Amino acid sequence: MDPYDNLLADNPFEQAEKLPVTGSVVVLMDIDYEDRGLELITPLSRALPAGEVHELIVTDESNPRESSVNDCSVIGFLEIDRGGVVAVGDEVYLAEDQIGTIAGFDASHAPNHYNIVVQADNPKPGVKMDIDLCASIEFE
């Protein structure tokens, strides 16, 4: 349940000023799914405190918030260095290259971690990207 569901018509973070959330890759994965069934939660944002670890998943599905996310790849896990708030629509940079925008969050593994789902043009697993462990990640 989203406490702002009936109060806000638009994503308030589209006009917000906020610091980037940064981190680094701690696990690179080699997983592609064709029928994953990720259910994006209603809230448009998540607070990510420093030190937390979360999973980064990419999809090229056009409207991931309207149904479950099925076709996706797992980049891996990241550790948050500078915490803050990330929101749907934030740009995601991996090793300084923009890879897409946040589409939403799946909480199937919470409270252990969130799946941060990124909408991208060319999704592929982390091991098939030109990045190394400790690559920088930035949400802005």
For the four alpha carbons of 9, 140, 125 and 41, in that order, the dihedral sign comes to negative
Question: Rounded to whole angstroms, how far apart are CA atoms 13 and 50?
Answer: 20
pTM of the model: 0.88
Q: List, in sequence order, every beta strand (DSSP E) within the chain.
A: 21-33, 45-48, 53-59, 72-82, 84-87, 91-94, 97-106, 115-119, 136-139
Please give the pLDDT value at position 8: 57
Question: Rounded to whole angstroms, how far apart are CA atoms 48 and 32?
Answer: 25
Provide the token pair at 45. Answer: 């944002």
Please give the pLDDT value at position 63: 79
Provide the token pair at 139. Answer: 């949400």
Residue 133: alpha-carbon gap to chain centroid? 18
pLDDT tens digits for the chain (140 residues)?
A: 555 555 556 677 777 889 999 999 999 999 999 888 899 998 899 999 999 999 999 999 887 777 789 889 999 999 999 999 999 999 999 999 999 999 999 999 989 999 999 999 989 999 999 899 999 999 99
Eight-state DSSP code of residue 128: G
Question: Rounded to whole angstroms, how far apart are CA atoms 51 and 128?
Answer: 26
